[in-house]
């Protein structure tokens, strides 16, 4: 009996041992399959992400991109065979790329035939994985603010162009459905050139009024035949002078007693050919004592004036000027010496004004001429510079800061909310030629503008920041209705502004002219207005604009190219960025490209779910 029992146990053990061995070996295969499943999942996730990042919406294109990526990802696993027939990449109705794949894993235990069990396991074990990538379900609008100031000359602008073009390629998709990706380009230096959008942004400049007449004298000249040395000194004319007491005259070309020349006087009539002179001492008319003058020798002319100061009186109906305001005159025929000069007006009536300059040495007006007002908002800006010199600058399509209650908002321009006008200096700080490009999805157009950038001028970074915001603001759509920004709806549209600069902000404005307190590097003082900046320090302006942008849900990136850490510019950029991870300080061209690439990837990042 005992021997029978032992025989039964041996028989059972003999029958079960192969199974136990196969189970053990099969466990190893199952472990290998589990490991491969993890590897396949990682590879499939990456391939699904590549398909989702592509611009394609057709399943055939997604399949091609996904398979190419998956094959490359699986090359690290030589014992894995991809079942391409069981692999698919499909875009569903919810804009999710769904990826399914299977691979075969070579088994350790394969094709073993054990009677009575039969064939035990195949050569390969099938392993499957599933991945889903939610494509960005939002539109994307990016304002790219680029520093093109003079300090960007040479290798810097070359590096910037390369990095910016790369950013365009990363951010802007070739296919704009079902969601669009658009970018605006905002080049800036001493301001931002808004080109054809200028009138809609800062208002249409006030134009000229036609000049119908310009003169300073009422009659032709009378020759002087003598002047006494006395108190009062008496003037004698060779013919009847035609004057009455309290009329005004201008005397010139007297020999000997030159002290009386080129001055305006009030006269007191003595006879038809004699009168004595009075001069204005700042408070009253006083008798002229000629005792201390040289003796009259010969010659001299007297001419009656229209005004007490004998200045030129201009007739320009409806000129709209007030006493003390500036005016700029062009296009006068005959009296050509009056042209292309600024003046301060006085003796204003509805249709006339005087310019404070005598025209005795000028020709007589024959026809024509234009009278341009000189206040902020006019085509020409007349102002006094810090040296006390009267200057005139013409407006441009560049703009400066917006002043007033809406200085740090994106309120639509118009009426009391116009942005600032810009009257560029003539002393080497012109309006840049590159014009802002509103939101655009055409890569060629964007790259063409970037590659055509040229450097000039000083750094008004606060103006560039403002227009980076305006470029993605729906409130400015009236400027460019063909390229409108979407409403502020973060769940539908991601809005980002990338601000790049290489230097200190040094160019603030007052009423459209670079202010007296502008920093070094902002052009000569000859073309600065003798007023401090309306909005204050440009760094403070930039900080306020960034805070306001971020409060509207705009993602802000900053790039300080070759800016030293710890300086005022670096500190502003750090505070301006949405987070420390959104601020970059590249020190070389390659670093700049890397920073722009990182920004591009971050802007276009996708959510992945399994």
pLDDT band at 270 (very low <50, low <70, confident <90, very high): very high
pLDDT surpasses 60 at 290? yes
CB count in 10 Å sphere of residue 574:
17
What confidence score (pLDDT) does residue 208 get?
Answer: 98
CA dihedral in degrees (26, 27, 29, 33; nearest 10)? 130
pLDDT band at 2 (very low <50, low <70, confident <90, very high): very low
Query: Is 520 in the same domain as 444?
Result: yes
DSSP class of 260: G
pLDDT surpasses 50 at 140? yes
| H/E stretch holding 463 | helix 461-471
What confidence score (pLDDT) does residue 491 get?
Answer: 86
pLDDT surpasses 60 at 336? yes
Query: Is 118 in the same domain as 151?
Result: no
Nearest to 253 by CA among 292, 305, 303: 303
pLDDT tens profile 418-462:
999 999 998 889 999 999 999 999 999 999 999 999 999 999 999
Residues recorded for the chain: 610
Higher pLDDT, 557 or 13: 557
Query: Is 550 in the same domain as 514?
Result: yes
pLDDT band at 114 (very low <50, low <70, confident <90, very high): very low
Segment 254-263 mean pLDDT: 97
Segment 118-139 mean pLDDT: 73
Query: Is 146 in the same domain as 259?
Result: no
Query: Is 183 in the same domain as 235?
Result: no
What confidence score (pLDDT) does residue 198 get?
Answer: 98
pTM for the model stands at 0.80
Query: Is 242 in the same domain as 354?
Result: no
* Contact yes or no for 145/160 (Cβ under 8 A): no
Domain with residue 446: its CATH number is 3.40.50.410
Greatest pairwise CA separation for the chain in angstroms? 173
Query: Is 22 in the same domain as 87?
Result: yes
Q: How far apart are CA 585 and CA 587, in angstroms?
A: 6
pLDDT tens profile 346-387:
999 999 999 999 999 999 999 999 999 999 999 999 999 999
Domain boundary among 134, 159, 176: 134
What confidence score (pLDDT) does residue 78 get?
Answer: 81
pLDDT surpasses 60 at 548? yes
Q: What percent of the chain has pLDDT over 70?
A: 90
pLDDT tens profile 498-513:
999 998 899 999 999 9
Residue-range definition of the domain harbouring residue 190: 139-205+384-609
Segment 214-222 mean pLDDT: 95
**First-last CA distance in the chain:** 63
Into how many domains does the chain fold? 4
pLDDT surpasses 80 at 107? no
Higher pLDDT, 504 or 22: 504
CA dihedral in degrees (601, 604, 609, 610; nearest 10)? -60
Domain with residue 262: its CATH number is 2.40.30.180
Domain boundary among 261, 279, 304: 304
pLDDT tens profile 25-79:
455 556 667 778 888 888 898 888 888 877 788 999 999 999 999 999 999 888 7
Query: Is 159 in the same domain as 180?
Result: yes
Q: What is the mean pLDDT of the chain?
A: 91
Decide the pairing of beta strands 301-304 and 222-227: antiparallel
Q: How far apart are CA 315 and CA 115, in angstroms?
A: 123
Query: Is 392 in the same domain as 437?
Result: yes
pLDDT surpasses 70 at 268? yes
Cα angle, residue 374 at apex, residues 262 and 365 outer, rounded to 5°: 45
What confidence score (pLDDT) does residue 10 get?
Answer: 52
Highest mean predicted confidence (pLDDT) among 104-113, 176-185, 540-549: 540-549
Segment 271-275 mean pLDDT: 98
Q: How far apart are CA 391 and CA 278, in angstroms?
A: 33
Query: Is 110 in the same domain as 162?
Result: no
Query: Is 294 in the same domain as 366?
Result: no
What confidence score (pLDDT) does residue 599 get?
Answer: 95
Residue with tokens 């134009």: 207
Segment 96-117 mean pLDDT: 71
Q: How far apart are CA 421 and CA 428, in angstroms?
A: 19
Segment 115-141 mean pLDDT: 72
What confidence score (pLDDT) does residue 530 get?
Answer: 98
Query: Is 345 in the same domain as 429?
Result: no
Segment 471-490 mean pLDDT: 97
CA 358 to chain centre: 44
Domain boundary among 273, 304, 335: 304
What confidence score (pLDDT) does residue 610 get?
Answer: 40
């Amino acid at each position: 009996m005992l021997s029978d029992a032992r025989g039964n146990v041996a028989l059972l053990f003999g029958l079960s041992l192969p199974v136990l061995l196969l189970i053990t070996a099969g466990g190893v295969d199952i472990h290998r399959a589990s490991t491969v499943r993890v590897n396949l999942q990682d590879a499939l996730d990456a391939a699904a992400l590549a398909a989702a990042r592509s611009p394609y919406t057709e399943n055939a294109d997604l399949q091609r991109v996904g398979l190419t990526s998956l094959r490359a990802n699986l090359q690290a696993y030589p014992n894995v065979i991809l079942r391409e027939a069981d692999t698919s990449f499909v875009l569903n109705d919810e804009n999710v790329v769904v990826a399914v794949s299977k691979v075969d894993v070579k088994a350790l235990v394969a094709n073993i035939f054990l009677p009575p069990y039969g064939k035990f396991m195949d050569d390969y074990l099938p392993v499957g994985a599933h991945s889903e990538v939610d494509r960005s379900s939002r539109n994307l609008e990016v304002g790219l603010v680029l520093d093109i100031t003079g300090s960007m000359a040479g290798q810097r602008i070359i590096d910037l162009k390369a990095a910016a073009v790369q950013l365009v390629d990363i951010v802007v998709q070739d296919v704009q459905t079902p969601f669009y990706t658009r970018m605006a380009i905002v080049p800036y230096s001493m301001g931002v050139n808004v080109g054809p959008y200028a009138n809609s942004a800062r208002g249409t400049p006030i134009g000229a009024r036609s000049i119908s007449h310009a003169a300073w004298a009422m009659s032709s000249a009378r020759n002087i035949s003598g002047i006494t040395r006395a108190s009062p000194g008496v003037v004698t004319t060779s013919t009847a002078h035609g004057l009455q007491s309290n009329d005004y005259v201008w005397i010139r070309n007297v020999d000997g007693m030159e002290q009386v020349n080129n001055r305006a006087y009030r006269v007191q009539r003595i006879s038809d050919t004699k009168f004595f002179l009075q001069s204005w001492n700042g408070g009253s008319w006083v008798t002229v004592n000629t005792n201390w003058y040289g003796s009259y020798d010969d010659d001299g002319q007297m001419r009656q004036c229209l005004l007490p100061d004998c200045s030129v009186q201009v007739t320009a109906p409806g000129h709209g000027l007030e006493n003390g305001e500036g005016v700029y005159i062009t296009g006068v025929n005959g009296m050509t010496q009056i042209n292309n000069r600024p003046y301060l007006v006085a003796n204003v009536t509805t249709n006339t004004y005087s310019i404070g300059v005598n025209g005795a040495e000028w020709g007589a007006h024959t026809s024509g001429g234009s009278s341009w007002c000189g206040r902020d908002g006019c085509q020409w800006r007349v102002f006094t510079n810090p040296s006390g010199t009267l200057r005139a600058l013409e407006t441009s399509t560049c703009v400066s800061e917006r002043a007033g209650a809406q200085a740090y908002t994106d309120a639509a321009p118009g009426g009391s909310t116009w942005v600032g006008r810009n009257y560029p200096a003539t002393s080497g700080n012109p309006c840049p030629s590159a014009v802002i490009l509103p939101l655009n999805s055409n890569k060629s157009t964007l790259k063409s503008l970037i590659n055509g950038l040229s450097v000039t001028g000083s750094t008004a970074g606060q103006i560039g920041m403002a227009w980076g915001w305006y470029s993605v603001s729906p409130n400015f759509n009236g400027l460019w209705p063909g390229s409108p920004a979407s409403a502020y709806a973060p769940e539908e549209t991601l809005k980002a502004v990338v601000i790049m600069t290489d230097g200190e902000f040094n160019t603030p404005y007052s009423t459209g002219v670079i202010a007296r307190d502008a920093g070094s590097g902002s052009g000569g003082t000859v073309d600065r207005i003798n007023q401090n900046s309306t909005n204050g320090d440009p760094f403070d302006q930039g900080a306020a604009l960034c805070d306001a942008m971020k409060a509207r849900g705009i993602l802000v990136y900053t790039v300080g190219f070759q800016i030293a850490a710890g300086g005022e510019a670096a500190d502003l950029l750090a505070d301006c960025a949405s987070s420390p991870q959104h601020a970059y300080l590249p020190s070389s061209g390659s670093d700049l490209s890397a920073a722009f690439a990182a920004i591009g990837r971050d802007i276009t990042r996708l959510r992945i779910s399994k």
